[in-house]
Amino acid sequence: MGQASRHASERTGSSWLARVSPFVASLRGYDSTRLKKDLVGALTVTALHIPEGMAYAQLAGLPPQAALYSTPAALALYALFGSSRQLIVAVSASVSVLSAATVGAMAQQGSPRFVALTAALALMAGAVAALAGVLKLGRIAQFFSASVLSGFVFGLALIIAIKQVPKILGIEGAKGGFFERLGFIFTHLGQTHVLTLIVGAASIAALLLLGRLSKRIPAALAVLVLGIVVSAVLHLDAKGVAIVGPIPSGLVSPQLPHGVGLKDLLGLLPGACGIALVAFAEAIGPARMFAAKHGYEVDPNRELVGLGAANLGGGLFRGFGMGCSLSKSAANDQAGSTTQVASLVTAGLTLLVALFLTGLFRALPEATLGAIVVVAILGMMDVKELVRLFHLRRGDFLGAGVALLGVLAFDVLPGLLIAVGVSLFLTVYRASQPRMSELGRVPGTLDLAATHREASAITLPGLHVFRPEEGLFFANATSLRDEVLTRVRDADVPVREVLLDLELTDDLDVPAADMLAGLHEDLSHRGITLALARVHRPTWRMLERTGVLAKVGPEHIYPQVAAGVEAWMAHHESQAWQEWRLIRDGLYLLRSRVDEAGAGLHGEERHRQEDLLVRLDEADRRMRELLNHLPHAPSGDDDPRGTRH
């Protein structure tokens, strides 16, 4: 093989690897400076990940070591297949609670079956996300209202917090939904273990204080270490304070969960879809923000594949569902991380902890773990965002409120379905509204503008030019037809032609095409012509295949709206002052072009140009006289161009 062929083969292989793994492309130009920044980012993320991972494992209903076993694979797989260079995909509070809620309905927490179903759920969530990425369904995120999801996340944060309160109070944990747990806590406050409450409250205070003092201090790790030291020195377990206890060291081998049948998988499917959706929804926003900040692109479909790979890795190592960690991603970015190497190093450091350092966590108080979770999810309770929605748009606030209350009243999975349902309802409802503008000519120009935005825009009597402000499709077709007929019926001057500007309709489905056919018939019965302008090629083909083109007539389809207006004027005898003003403004614009073109002319050509200008001025003078004698015509003082001569 020649050298040129060898280089071509290497380029092809590199290109193939870059398509499969965005990580390869991020390593171009990698040097020691970037490595140093990535190592700092990895150490920062590890300091946050160890305590939060152990706490979130308990949120998912698993022992703390489950996070140490499963997250290294998740971190490494997302680093290889995800497209964001700063995002940290590992444990997630929202995904952990979704996992516990799904599996808790099918098995007793703490049982081997619960562990097996949790791993199966992570595997299914990974498969769902990866398949969605392969099928290029990343754009589905735009159909879910960020306002509604903010309400869902707020409600989820409240559920997470209420589950940690018994640990901090040292009382028995309640079961049931949010309000049942809240009622249980209030009725059992008298059983509060004072020393446990002191440990939990002190942990929360230390976390908040350290967070305010410096963003560089890993507050969660510092409080975790402090909690372990105090607990060991004072023997808090002997005084009634619950501790984590012995944590097995080592690793588990990758394996498929045992004893999970087809019926179980069907029962887990809604939760798997929910985890895939929530993980993607909370990841895509930060991923795009980091990409914009550092000047690269993220691919939503790649993000789905990366999240799917992370969940598959977590499930294979008997773990739980994985998602985006906002706090660790932000810390990773602030530390200066430039590539996914930070995630790979974090995975390695977590493996070292799982192999050799689990014994250090034996004396850790459960109240401290609960405090770490509560402080970590405070950012999910975005009160300012809800207040902003309330002041800006009550509809968005209502959607967020419905999602929030749905989570609290019906638990996580039904709440997720409510949030998704509200988002889809708002999408369909807004799409079904007839958003249509009537176009008129801006005085002094031949430009068209929406009459509700440009008050001076002039319309031609008998001709209505409408532009749908979004593409025509089945959801808005009927309402748009009704709106056109209503405006035609309520017009002050009898309408003789309706010209539809279809610029925003890139494609046309069958129901929308049928609507145009029906609209043509409705208008024809009223003696009104239907014309179309700016019809894109896919729309033209659909009109042709459905027979609408033959009904409307190719002679009534125009490349530009202006061409349709000109055709209207040419085929109708009655010319109102609006039409004469259009002709006069056209003459004025022609005169301006002739004047500009004559700047460099000399001799005979200059004389011809001056003669043409004189004739155009004479035509303009006659037009002004005509306009002054037409009924309802504005006076010359109303001319927005003012005096030109």
**Partners of 497 in beta bridges:** 463, 529
Q: Which residue has the higher pLDDT, 100 or 586?
A: 100
Question: Tokens standing for 84?
Answer: 């964001």
Q: How far is Cα of residue 253 from the mean position of the Cα atoms in its chain?
A: 37
pLDDT band at 443 (very low <50, low <70, confident <90, very high): confident
Query: For the chain, how far is it from start to end, CA to CA, in angstroms?
Result: 79
pLDDT band at 633 (very low <50, low <70, confident <90, very high): low
Q: What is the mean predicted confidence (pLDDT) over 366-371? A: 90
Q: What is the mean predicted confidence (pLDDT) over 394-409? A: 88
**Partners of 439 in beta bridges:** 450
- pLDDT tens-digit readout, 568-587: 777 766 556 566 666 666 65
How far apart are the C-alpha atoms of 176 and 104, rounded to whole Å? 11
Q: What is the pLDDT of residue 183?
A: 92
Pairing of strands 463-468, 557-558: unpaired
Contact 163, 59 (CB under 8 A): yes
Contact 624, 636 (CB under 8 A): yes
| Distant-in-sequence contacts of 230-237, Cβ < 8 A, 24+ apart | 230/199, 231/199, 231/363, 231/364, 231/365, 232/363, 236/195, 236/199, 236/363, 236/365, 237/363
Q: DSSP 3-state assignment of 172?
A: coil
Is the confidence at residue 640, as pLDDT, over 50? no
Q: Which residue has the higher pLDDT, 641 or 323?
A: 323
Query: For residue 68, how many other CB atoms are within 10 A of its CB?
Result: 30
**Least confident stretch, 125-134, 354-363, 516-525:** 354-363
Contact 308, 76 (CB under 8 A): no
Pairing of strands 529-533, 463-468: unpaired
pLDDT band at 435 (very low <50, low <70, confident <90, very high): confident
Contact 222, 205 (CB under 8 A): no
To the nearest 10°, report the CA torsion of 392, 395, 400, 405: 130
- pLDDT tens-digit readout, 452-504: 777 777 777 888 999 998 888 888 888 889 999 999 998 888 888 999 999 98
User: Would you say the pTM of this structure is higher than 0.85?
Assistant: no
Contact 552, 521 (CB under 8 A): no
**Partners of 463 in beta bridges:** 497
Q: DSSP 3-state assignment of 444?
A: coil
Angle in degrees, CA 63, 343, 102, rounded to 5: 35
Q: For 88, list phi and psi in degrees, rounded to 5.
A: -110, 115
Question: Tokens standing for 569?
Answer: 């004027």
* DSSP-derived secondary structure for 289-347: HHHHHHT----HHHHHHHHHHHHHHHHHTT----EE-HHHHHHHHHTT--STHHHHHHH
Boundaries of every domain in the chain? 31-425, 436-571, 577-638
Q: What is the pLDDT of residue 619?
A: 67
Maximal CA-CA distance, the chain:
112
Pairing of strands 436-441, 448-450: antiparallel
Is the confidence at residue 352, as pLDDT, over 70? yes
* CATH class assigned to 436-571: alpha beta
How far apart are the C-alpha atoms of 68 and 249, rounded to whole Å? 9
Contact 372, 200 (CB under 8 A): no
Among residues 22, 136, 122, the alpha carbon closest in space to that of 73 is found at 122
Question: Tokens standing for 154?
Answer: 């707020």
* DSSP-derived secondary structure for 268-295: HHHHHHHHHHHHHHHHHHHHHHHHHHHT
Question: Tokens standing for 226?
Answer: 């402090």
